[in-house]
């Protein structure tokens, strides 16, 4: 096992792990049952050691505390008999003692690293268009209108990180040792190989993550602290309130929310103001709603490659309104 993960587990136990490190640790833990067992056992050992090391106790007491914990663990799990790898625990204990006694050495070692200057590629897709971007690793990103992604020029080495503004559908190539991470404001979505949709337009009050295949882990930060990871499976959707941080997880049909790639629109209990914004983005139009009452009307409808007029006919009927199309502008008003 890479010694780095022992350090990440310690940071996790002390609740001072960074967002990117937490993503790495969760990906590693989720990759195998063996890693999950190592994580549980190591975390327990750290908790016992922390109790001793946080007091002015000597090194012998720290070692005794860890050894006692190992013996108790074996006793607690009777009648199941298993061989305990004491060498592994002694390695953990040694790492704990070293970090407790020589923090200056540790931080000085890492502080000597020079900050790397990272160059980025940025791709913007204007309103009324769809764009397919094939990443250096072979992953495909479908950009919706008025959406932008940013990624490092050395994207294909190490962790694969993408920054998103707007909406995109991701079809990610599986790489066990290279997690794929999408950052949208204070929300990070981590996968190894899957397909999912993220809707994070700045004008919306929510960020929505919808999984079509595979599994993703979503972490939301608030007031500088990371919340618990939310795991999503196929046909599950997580909605995150940008302001309050409230989460809402539900079962849905992912195809309804990913259909925009094929010029299909799906509105479920959405206010007319938000629907108008989507139509404006999809067809590169200016939309105007004349009254506040109309803006708040919520509608549910599905359209498959329809013209603007076909869409507006349905919306007018459902909202009991009228509309006018003048050149590149649509005006909606009460009857």
Q: Which segment of 43-57, 90-104, 121-135 scores lowest on mean pLDDT? A: 90-104
Do 128 and 251 lie in one domain? The reply is: yes
Instruction: Decide which of 93, 111, 129 is a domain's last residue.
Output: 111
**Where is pLDDT greater, at 328 or 2?**
328
Q: What's the pLDDT score for residue 98?
A: 39
Do 239 and 286 lie in one domain? The reply is: no
Does the pLDDT at position 90 exceed 70?
no
Do 55 and 78 lie in one domain? The reply is: yes
For tokens 């539900």, the residue is: 250
Does the pLDDT at position 10 exceed 80?
no
Q: What's the pLDDT score for residue 110?
A: 46
The CATH number of residue 130's host domain is: 2.60.120.1440
Do 292 and 218 lie in one domain? The reply is: no
Q: What's the pLDDT score for residue 97?
A: 43
For tokens 């909605």, the residue is: 239
Do 158 and 80 lie in one domain? The reply is: no
Structural domain count, the chain:
3
193-232 residues labelled b (16+ CB within 10 A) or e (exposed): bbbbbbbbbeeeeebbbbbbebbbbbbbeeeeebeebbbb
Mean pLDDT of 32-57: 61
The CATH number of residue 288's host domain is: 3.55.50.30
Do 137 and 245 lie in one domain? The reply is: yes
Does the pLDDT at position 94 exceed 60?
no
Residues 139-178: pLDDT tens digits? 999 999 999 999 999 888 878 999 999 999 999 998 877 8
Do 252 and 237 lie in one domain? The reply is: yes
Mean pLDDT of 56-77: 47
Do 92 and 134 lie in one domain? The reply is: no
Instruction: Decide which of 111, 131, 165 is a domain's last residue.
Output: 111
Q: What's the pLDDT score for residue 229?
A: 77
Mean pLDDT of 4-17: 75
Does the pLDDT at position 332 exceed 80?
yes
C-alpha–C-alpha distance, residues 287 and 105, integer Å: 61
Do 243 and 137 lie in one domain? The reply is: yes
Mean pLDDT of 123-143: 94
User: pTM to 2 decimals?
Assistant: 0.69
Mean pLDDT of 225-243: 87
Q: Which segment of 8-12, 144-148, 331-335 scores lowest on mean pLDDT? A: 8-12
Q: What's the pLDDT score for residue 115?
A: 55
Residues 270-293: pLDDT tens digits? 999 999 999 999 999 999 999 999
Do 216 and 138 lie in one domain? The reply is: yes
Q: What's the pLDDT score for residue 30?
A: 79
Backbone angles phi, psi at 194, to 5 degrees: -170, 180
Instruction: Decide which of 226, 256, 286 is a domain's last residue.
Output: 256
Do 317 and 218 lie in one domain? The reply is: no
Q: Which segment of 12-26, 93-107, 108-122, 163-177 scores lowest on mean pLDDT? A: 93-107
Do 141 and 63 lie in one domain? The reply is: no
214: left (phi over 0), alpha (psi -120 to 50) or beta: left
Domain hosting 158: range is 120-256
Q: What's the pLDDT score for residue 174?
A: 87
How confident is the prediction for the chain on average, in pLDDT?
79
Does the pLDDT at position 294 exceed 60?
yes
Q: What's the pLDDT score for residue 301?
A: 93
Q: What's the pLDDT score for residue 277?
A: 93
C-alpha–C-alpha distance, residues 306 and 327, integer Å: 18
């Amino acid at each position: 096992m890479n010694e780095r993960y022992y350090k990440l587990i310690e940071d996790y136990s002390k609740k001072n792990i960074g967002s990117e490190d937490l993503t790495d640790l969760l990906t590693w833990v989720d990759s195998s049952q063996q890693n999950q067992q190592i994580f549980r056992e190591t975390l327990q050992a750290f908790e016992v050691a922390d109790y001793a090391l946080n007091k002015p106790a000597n090194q012998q007491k720290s070692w005794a505390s860890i050894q006692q914990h190992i013996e108790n663990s074996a006793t607690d799990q009777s009648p199941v008999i298993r061989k305990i790898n004491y060498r592994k625990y002694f390695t953990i204990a040694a790492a704990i003692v070293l970090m407790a006694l020589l923090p200056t050495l540790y931080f000085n070692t890492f502080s000597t690293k020079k900050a790397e200057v990272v160059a980025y590629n940025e791709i913007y897709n204007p309103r009324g268009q769809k764009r397919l971007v094939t990443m250096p690793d072979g992953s495909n990103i479908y950009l919706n209108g008025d959406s932008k992604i940013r990624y490092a020029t050395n994207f294909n080495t190490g962790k694969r990180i993408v920054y998103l503004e707007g909406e995109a559908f991701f079809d990610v190539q599986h790489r066990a040792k290279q997690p794929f991470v999408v950052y949208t404001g204070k929300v990070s979505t981590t996968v190894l190989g899957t397909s999912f949709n993220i809707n994070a337009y700045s004008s919306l009050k929510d960020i929505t993550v919808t999984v079509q295949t595979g599994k993703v882990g979503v972490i939301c930060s608030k007031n500088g602290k990371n919340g618990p990871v939310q795991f999503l499976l196929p046909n599950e959707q997580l909605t995150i309130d940008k302001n309050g941080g409230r989460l809402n997880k539900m079962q849905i049909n992912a195809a309804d929310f990913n259909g925009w790639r094929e010029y299909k629109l799906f509105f479920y209990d959405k206010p007319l103001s938000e629907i108008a914004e989507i139509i404006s983005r999809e067809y590169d139009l200016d939309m105007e709603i004349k009254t506040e009452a109309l803006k708040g009307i919520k509608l549910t409808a599905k359209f498959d490659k329809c013209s603007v007029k076909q869409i507006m006919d349905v919306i007018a009927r459902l909202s009991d309104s009228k509309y006018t199309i003048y050149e590149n502008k649509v005006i909606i008003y009460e009857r």
